[in-house]
Structures are given as C-alpha cells and as structure tokens.
Amino acid sequence: MKFWLRYESHDLELHQGRFCIGRGEDCQLALDDPLVSRRHAAFTIVSDRVWVEDLDSCNGVSVNGKPLESAREVMHGDTVQVGSQRLTVVCARHPQDTTINQDAISVRARGDMFGVLATLADKSFALGQGEEAERILATHLNQLLADVQAGREISPEVLESGSRYASKLAVLTQKAHWFNYVFEIYLASETRCPMDVVDALYSVIPRMAGVDPSSVAKYTDRLRSDLDSMGPTDRFLLGRVEGLERLIRLR
C-alpha cells in the first residue's frame, strides 16, 4: 500500500516515517498561508497505516470537518484541513487508481474557509489595515472569481460574501482590481449585485485610478438584456450601475 496527500493539483507521496506541514522551511510541505503555524501538523506513516496530529498549532487541524483533539488514524478519502488549505488522503497502489473528485472538494473547501478568513479580515478592516486584509483574502477571492468564470457551482452566500469583501477592499485600499472584481464576478455568475455593494463603490470613484469602465459597461449591458422582465428594484439597480459607469467615463 502506498499513500499520498492530494493538494491542489499535486499528489505528494508519503513515505514511512514523519511528514510535517507548516510555514517553516524545514517542513516537507511548506504552505504560504497566514492561518498556518510554522510547524502546524504532521502525518506519521507506519507500515500500512497513517496518523495525523496537530503540532500545537494556533488555528488547529480538522479531519472531515471535525476538530482534531489528538492524533488519529486517517483513511483513503479523508480530508484534512490545515489553516485554509485542504488536503485529501489517498491510499492506493497508484494515485491514478482513485476516483476522488478533487475539483469539487477544492471548491467546497474554499467556501467553507470563507467564514474563518472573513473573521480575521474583519479585524483588519476595523483597524483600517487594508493591506493586511488584502493579504488574508486576496488568494481566496481571486480563486473564487476563477471558479465562477470556469462555471463551477458556487453557493449564492459565498458569491455575495466574496463580492462584499472585494468592495470593502476597493474602498480601503483604493485598488481598481477589487472595484473591477465586483462586476466581473456578477457578470460571470449572471446574477444581481446587491444594491448596497454598488452604493459603496460610488464613494471610491473620485480617488481611485485605473478603474476599467468596460467591466461596469459589460455588466450594465447584461442587466439591460433583462429590462423587459425587470421589476422596480432591478430597474433601480440598473440605474445605479449606469450612474456608476457615467461617473467613471467622466473622470
């Protein structure tokens, strides 16, 4: 029997002995993640069995969504969460023999982690630390947009949460990337942007450089295509987005 850890698009073979995960350079798997401790978790492989343990990390380890309280044995298909990273245990003669849907696992994992990251980011927002909030959220927000653009199924709650945090980053960092992000994600998902998110973006237009009017224009065109079936609320939203586009073009 051989063992692997499936992480993103990679299968990392586990050999007999100990395999450490953390941010430290001495770890076999070094993760660039603010939620991961220097030495966070370890897998121990003895014969045909694998155990995982928490190395007194700050944010803990979970197995199949349950917090790990002590070292426990893991089986094929178990998911282990370290910080915001999700790893899947693969036990087989060869990793290609498995039928784990890693793509679905990854999308679900990113959605599950958003609440944890949002809590950390909220503290930074409250302190006016836009760069720190961006450091915490950027990777996950950009991956969320990529998932939506690739047509992967994203829950409405995660989609809305992502757009709200992108708008907060736009306001605090004054970076056009996050302004454009809001309209790109709603254009890709073909859904309505919340009115308060649009309203928040009005405040940054006078001070922000590099805003791409085409991202707003494309979303405006998408809304206009449904004009005949729109109710009063959606028509008001269209008007607000059109106003935002005009402000950008008048700068």
Handedness of CA 54, 123, 195, 240 (dihedral sign): negative
Percent of the chain with pLDDT over 90: 54
Q: Could you tell me the pLDDT band of residue 104, with boundaries at 50, 70 and 90?
A: very low
pLDDT tens-digit profile of 14-39? 888 889 999 988 888 888 888 999 99
pLDDT tens-digit profile of 119-152? 778 888 998 989 988 988 888 899 889 989 989 8
Q: How far apart are CA 70 and CA 152, in angstroms?
A: 35
Which amino acid does the sequence have at 46? V
Q: At what angle do helices 195-202 and 176-189 cross, to 10 degrees?
A: 160
Q: How far apart are CA 110 and CA 199, in angstroms?
A: 27
Could you count the other beta carbons within 10 Å of the beta carbon of residue 17?
10
Helix ranges (DSSP H) in 49-129: 102-126
Question: What is the residue whose two structure tokens read 């409250």?
Answer: 126
Overall pTM > 0.75? no
Residue-level pLDDT at 100 = 46
Residue-level pLDDT at 101 = 47
Q: CA angle, 126 as apex, 129 and 171 as ends, to 5°?
A: 65
Cβ pair 195, 186 in contact under 8 A: no
Paired with 51 in beta bridges are 44, 73
